[in-house]
Chains A and B, each alone.
Chain A
Amino acid sequence: MSSIDPFVERGPKATALSASAPMRRHQPRLWSGDRFQTGLFLWPTCLFLLVLTLFPFIYSVWLSLHFVRLTALHRKVWAGLDNYASLLTDQMFLAALRNTALLAVSSITVEVVLGFAVAKVFYELASRKWVNGLRSAYLVPMMITPISVGVIANYVFNPQLGVINQLLGAAGGSPVPWFGDPVWARISILLISVWQWTPFVAMLILAGLMSIRKDILEAARVDGARWWHILFRIEIPSVLPIIMLAVILRLIEVLRYFDVIYITTRGGPGDRTMVLTLFTYQQDFQYFQVGTGSAAAVVILILSIIVTTFAVRILRRIENA
């Protein structure tokens, strides 16, 4: 049988031949190879990261482990973790930590509740054409440079000339010492933050609401659901992952919150509106305590990393849903 079928005889031989044949590999030339091209595209980014991100980070960690002044950077004394330990007993730092947390909790809560309400209004009015323009206009506070927001706030909240006190006066109320009062100063910062960031949260939630399929809402209506059932059992659960994302993005932003407070209250009165970034700035550039300032910066960084890790996880979950 096998002698009739030529392929059976020649099969193994042919395989052996091709296997033993030398593989002629094309040697890539240095200037045309994929590897070179990849490198060419990558090095600017790598250099950028190295010089502007990695080096400052390592340098500040290094500085945080020393007693050192900005005016005499060459005279460093090894401190180990002493700078971190002193932070934990520094009343100003602890106040900054508390205030940052307080600002985060209060402003994000208000922004989410208000943002959801605003998103819902835009969602219900989405079929009307003029709403599109309004929606874009609503995003303006988010686009203004934080420094400008601070300057605007200075005018708006000015006790004598500010528009808010003018309006309060016109309505028969007594003027409020906005940035000068321990309680009102915090409320002012909260109001500014809410004004600036609610649009961002609202737009995220609006996108979430828009992505709920119409037929699901119709199915719920046929199932007997009233508006409150739809709100609490369909809409809110559906946008919950988006709300989580908004909360985390805002947390990162609150940790970096600096410009507005620097322009308006400077952390005062006393330490009532002191936040982590402002504390770090003052240590580094007002008191020249670079070691302590760097330690505070590292703490901010660690907090950011923790928050970002959660953010990535939640983003993944949204992707998979």
Chain B
Amino acid sequence: MGAVQLVGINKSFGTAKVIDDVSLDIRDGEFIVFVGPSGCGKSTLLRLISGLEEPTSGRVLIAGQDVTQAAPAERQISMVFQSYALYPHMSVRDNIGFGLRIAGFSREETRTRVDEAARMLELTPLLDRRPRDLSGGQRQRVAIGRAIVRSPQAFLFDEPLSNLDAALRVQMRMEIIGLHQSLGRTMIYVTHDQVEAMTMADRIVVLRSGRVEQFDTPITLYDRPANRFVAGFIGSPRMNFIPVSLSEGELIDAGGGRIRVEGRSPDEMRRATVLGVRPEHLTYGSEGGVWSGRIRVLEQLGSDAFLHVTVDGLEAPLVVRASGERRLREGEVVSLSPRPGTVHLFDQDDHAIGAPDPAFRPSRAA
């Protein structure tokens, strides 16, 4: 049904290469999130699927059919834009029904479908209003309504929540997840917000400079990032990176800290140039750790406290997530160690070396 395949897609604007040899296999009914920093090509990739952009080379397949040359209208997809893109001169009812009317649906059929979508999205009292009389959240709902009435093969969302305030964003996130569950259609969602990516996606595509860095489930991205970029991009606060070298079977950092890494082959240890450990995988105490340093900044969130600890010899401060911590103050000295089986290793090309925990098994092959 709504499977989407990208085969060797390239896209250049003039001399600038925006998408670089991207191939993806998206299964019917999956919720896929494209995530990456600004300018990574995630929106362009979505527009290539929608047909609003044509690839320089490569093929786009929707439901098994090659639609590379097909107009957006022929692809049976719906798209929700960041700016909502509602037709300003039409009522909410006409906005939602626009696609149906031009597809030749009768007035009655259109009305029934629009009413149904409006009920689902709680838009019924607003049907006769103009977009300019609606709030941001209501406009977003209308845009979603316009997408669902046409019952397309796949839904495309281009940063749909980034114009909403924080509270509304959380609420709409839940509604879109609910919508995916009730409709069961393929959804492809672009965002730069990793929280949206982690909470919504079945699988996440992490993009950088037009290339796919990793395509996997949220948990795999977190537990087993393929490279240093993904490791740093997924997780907040970001992973600590420490340059290391091998000496007498142990990794040593620039400050002289000796880190024992278990379950790695001698070859893997030899290739490692950078060690990564997430803030939540650092334990802290008063003495006896691998690193010792002074707390320079303490960000207290109530549930967690983030300690930024300066360690002699290390360039960047180490960040520690201290759950429910109340006693520590800025300026105090703490001692830090990684939890066993949580250390990531990266080679000189920033590729991940093996898995942090040998017992770890990826949930699904990419």
Contact = CB atoms under 8 A, between A and B. Distances in A.
A317 to B, nearest CB: 12
Contact of A221 (B72, B88, B103, B132): B72
Nearest to B78: A222
Contact of B146 (A218, A223, A234, A237): A223
B102 A234 contact: no
Given A229-B102, A233-B98, A233-B102, A222 B79 contact: yes
A223 B89 contact: no
A213 B131 CA distance: 14
Given A233-B98, A233-B102, A238-B89, A224 B150 contact: yes
A225 interface: yes
Contacts, number: 64
A286 B2 CA distance: 81
Interface string B60-95: 000000000001110001110101011111000000
Nearest to B89: A237
Q: Chain A interface: which size bin?
A: 10 to 19
A21 interface: no
B177 interface: no
Given A218-B81, A222-B52, A223-B98, 19 more contacts: A215-B85, A216-B85, A216-B86, A216-B88, A218-B85, A219-B79, A220-B98, A221-B71, A221-B73, A222-B156, A223-B78, A223-B99, A224-B99, A224-B103, A225-B102, A226-B73, A229-B102, A234-B87, A238-B89
B191 interface: no
Contacts of A226: 73, 102
A40 interface: no
B292 interface: no
A238 B131 CA distance: 14
A226 B71 CA distance: 9
A13 to B, nearest CB: 48
Most B Cβ at <10 Å: residue of A213, A215, A234: A215
B150 A223 contact: yes
B50 interface: yes
Interface in A125-169: none
A62 B83 CA distance: 59
Interface in A276-321: 321
Contacts of B156: 222
Interface in A196-242: 213, 215-216, 218-226, 229, 233-234, 237-238
Most B Cβ at <10 Å: residue of A216, A237, A321: A216
Contacts of A216: 85-88
Contacts of A237: 89
Nearest to A236: B89
Contacts of A233: 98, 102
Nearest to B76: A224
B227 to A, nearest CB: 34
A215 B102 contact: no
Nearest to A241: B89
Interface in B216-242: none
A138 B122 CA distance: 51
A224 B73 contact: yes
A213 B102 CA distance: 20
A219 B102 contact: no
Interface string B321-353: 000000000000000000000000000000000
A238 B89 CA distance: 7
Nearest to B103: A224
29 contacts: A213-B83, A215-B83, A215-B85, A216-B85, A216-B87, A216-B88, A218-B52, A218-B72, A218-B79, A219-B85, A219-B87, A219-B146, A220-B87, A220-B98, A221-B51, A221-B52, A221-B72, A221-B73, A222-B73, A223-B78, A223-B98, A224-B103, A224-B150, A225-B99, A229-B102, A233-B102, A237-B89, A238-B88, A321-B132
Given A213-B85, A215-B81, A216-B85, A222 B72 contact: yes
A144 to B, nearest CB: 36
Contacts of B73: 221-226
Most A Cβ at <10 Å: residue of B88, B103, B150, B156: B88
B360 to A, nearest CB: 41
B246 to A, nearest CB: 54
Contacts of B51: 221-222
Nearest to B158: A215
A215 B82 CA distance: 9
A253 to B, nearest CB: 28
B71 to A, nearest CB: 7
Nearest to B130: A321
Contacts of A215: 81, 83, 85
B77 A222 contact: yes
Q: Which 9 A-B pairs have the closest CB atoms?
A: A223-B99, A219-B85, A215-B85, A224-B73, A222-B79, A222-B72, A221-B72, A237-B89, A229-B102
B155 to A, nearest CB: 11
A224 B75 CA distance: 9
Nearest to A228: B102
A277 to B, nearest CB: 37
Contacts of A225: 73, 98-99, 102
B362 to A, nearest CB: 35
B239 to A, nearest CB: 36
A234 B88 CA distance: 9
Contact of B102 (A218, A223, A238, A321): A223
B346 to A, nearest CB: 40
Nearest to A320: B132
Contacts of B103: 224
A225 B52 CA distance: 13
Nearest to A216: B85
Most A Cβ at <10 Å: residue of B50, B85, B132: B85
B4 to A, nearest CB: 15
A224 B132 CA distance: 24
Contacts of B102: 223-226, 229, 233
